[in-house]
Structure 1
Amino acid sequence: MYNLSTLLEDSARRFPDREAVVLGDTRLTYAQVNGAANQVANLLVSRGIQHGDKVALSCPNLPYFTIVYYGILKAGATVVPLNVLLKGREVAYHLGDSDAKAYFCFEGTADLPMAKEGYAGFGEASGCEHFVVITADPAAPSPIDGTDTLGAAMSGQAPTFDTVATDEDDTAVILYTSGTTGQPKGAELRHRNMRDNALTGEVLFGADADHPDTYLCVLPLFHSFGQTVIQNGAFAYGGTVVMLPRFEAHAALQLMGKEKVTFFAGVPTMYWGLLGALEDVRAAGGVDVEELARNLRVAAAGGAALPVEVHKEFQKRFGVTILEGYGLSETSPVASFSPRGEEVRVGSIGKPIPGVEMKLIEPDWTEVNADGSDPDAVGEIAIRGHNIMKGYYDRPEATAEVIHDGWFRSGDLGRRDEDGWYYIVDRSKDMIIRGGFNVYPREIEEVLLTHPDVSLAAVIGVPHESHGEEIKAVVILNDGATVTPDELVAWGKEQMASYKYPRLVEVVDSLPMTATGKILKRELS
Structure 2
Amino acid sequence: MTTYNLAALLDDTADRHPDREAIVLGDTHLSYAQVQGAANQVANLLASRGIQPGDKVALSCPNLPYFTIAYYGIIKAGGTVVPLNVLLKAREVAYHLDDSDAKAYFCFQGTEDLPIGAEGHQGFEQTDTCTEFFLITADPGAETTIEGTETMGRAMADQPATFEAVATDEDDTAVILYTSGTTGQPKGAELRHRNMRDNALSGKDLFAADIDNPDTYLCVLPLFHSFGQTVIQNGAFAFGGTVVMLPRFEAKAALGLMLSESVSFFAGVPTMYWGLLGALADDDSIDVSSLAQNLRVAAAGGSALPVEVHKRFQEKFGVTILEGYGLSETSPVASFSPYGEDVRPGSIGIPIPGVEMALLEGDSWDQVEWTPEAVGEIAIKGHNVMKGYYDRPEATAEVIEDGWFRSGDLGRRDEDGWYYIVDRSKDMIIRGGYNVYPREIEEVLMTHPDVSLAAVIGVPHESHGEEIKAFVILQKGASVSGDDLVAWGKEQMANYKYPRVVEVVDELPMTSTGKILKRELS
TM-score w.r.t. structure 2 length? 0.83
Code of the residue aligned with 2:274 in structure 1: it is W
Matches within 5 A, 1:265-280: 265-280=267-282
Q: Structure 1 pair 423/518, CA: closer, same or farther in 2 (3 Å)?
A: farther
Q: Structure 1 pair 259/203, CA: closer, same or farther in 2 (3 Å)?
A: same
Correspondent of 1:37 among 36, 39, 58: 39
Question: Once the 2 structures are TM-superposed, how far is the Cα of residue 520 of structure 1 from its aligned partner?
Answer: 8.2
Residue of structure 2 in register with 1:251 after alignment? 253
Matches within 5 A, 1:280-359: 280-283=282-285, 287-359=286-358
Code of the residue aligned with 2:15 in structure 1: it is R
Residue of structure 2 in register with 1:13 after alignment? 15
Q: Structure 1 pair 523/232, CA: closer, same or farther in 2 (3 Å)?
A: farther
Correspondent of 2:409 among 398, 409, 412: 412
Residue of structure 1 in register with 2:204 after alignment? 202
Q: CA RMSD in A?
A: 2.4
Deviations 1:18-70 (A, max 9, x none): 10000000000000000000000000000000100000000000000000000
Question: Once the 2 structures are TM-superposed, how far is the Cα of residue 290 of structure 1 from its aligned partner?
Answer: 1.1
Correspondent of 2:421 among 407, 415, 424: 424
Residue of structure 2 in register with 1:153 after alignment? 155
Residue of structure 2 in register with 1:445 after alignment? none
Code of the residue aligned with 1:359 in structure 2: it is A
Q: Structure 1 pair 32/85, CA: closer, same or farther in 2 (3 Å)?
A: same
Residue of structure 1 in register with 2:377 after alignment? 380
Q: Structure 1 pair 73/259, CA: closer, same or farther in 2 (3 Å)?
A: same
Residue of structure 2 in register with 1:62 after alignment? 64
Residue of structure 2 in register with 1:493 after alignment? none
Code of the residue aligned with 1:17 in structure 2: it is D
* Distance in 1 of aligned mates of 2:195 and 2:336: 17
* Greater CA drift, 87-96 or 178-187: 178-187
Question: Once the 2 structures are TM-superposed, how far is the Cα of residue 362 of structure 1 from its aligned partner?
Answer: 2.1
Question: Once the 2 structures are TM-superposed, how far is the Cα of residue 179 of structure 1 from its aligned partner?
Answer: 5.6
Q: Does 1:403 align with 2:400?
A: yes
Residue of structure 2 in register with 1:25 after alignment? 27
Question: Once the 2 structures are TM-superposed, how far is the Cα of residue 364 of structure 1 from its aligned partner?
Answer: 3.1
* Distance in 2 of aligned mates of 1:186 and 1:83: 13
Deviations 1:107-130 (A, max 9, x none): 000001011100100001100010
* Distance in 1 of aligned mates of 2:344 and 2:41: 47
Code of the residue aligned with 1:215 in structure 2: it is Y
Does the 8 A contact of 1:220 with 1:516 survive in 2?
A: no
Matches within 5 A, 1:511-522: none
Residue of structure 1 in register with 2:449 after alignment? none
Q: Structure 1 pair 472/157, CA: closer, same or farther in 2 (3 Å)?
A: closer
Deviations 1:250-277 (A, max 9, x none): 1000010010000000000000000000
* Distance in 1 of aligned mates of 2:458 and 2:85: 30
Q: Structure 1 pair 240/523, CA: closer, same or farther in 2 (3 Å)?
A: farther
SS in 2 for 1:375: coil
Does the 8 A contact of 2:19 with 2:31 survive in 1?
A: yes
* Distance in 2 of aligned mates of 1:238 and 1:172: 21
Q: Does 1:212 align with 2:214?
A: yes
Question: Once the 2 structures are TM-superposed, how far is the Cα of residue 165 of structure 1 from its aligned partner?
Answer: 0.6
Does the 8 A contact of 1:336 with 1:350 survive in 2?
A: yes
Question: Once the 2 structures are TM-superposed, how far is the Cα of residue 162 of structure 1 from its aligned partner?
Answer: 1.0
* Distance in 2 of aligned mates of 1:187 and 1:85: 19
Residue of structure 1 in register with 2:242 after alignment? 240
* Distance in 1 of aligned mates of 2:59 and 2:32: 21
Percent identity over the alignment is: 75
Question: Once the 2 structures are TM-superposed, how far is the Cα of residue 523 of structure 1 from its aligned partner?
Answer: 8.0
* Distance in 2 of aligned mates of 1:264 and 1:156: 37
Question: Once the 2 structures are TM-superposed, how far is the Cα of residue 293 of structure 1 from its aligned partner?
Answer: 1.2
Paired positions, count:
450
SS in 2 for 1:141: coil
Q: Structure 1 pair 12/329, CA: closer, same or farther in 2 (3 Å)?
A: same
Q: Structure 1 pair 209/158, CA: closer, same or farther in 2 (3 Å)?
A: same
* Distance in 1 of aligned mates of 2:282 and 2:213: 32
Does the 8 A contact of 2:173 with 2:193 survive in 1?
A: yes
Matches within 5 A, 1:464-475: 474-475=460-461
Does the 8 A contact of 2:349 with 2:419 survive in 1?
A: yes
Does the 8 A contact of 1:41 with 1:71 survive in 2?
A: yes
Does the 8 A contact of 2:88 with 2:494 survive in 1?
A: no
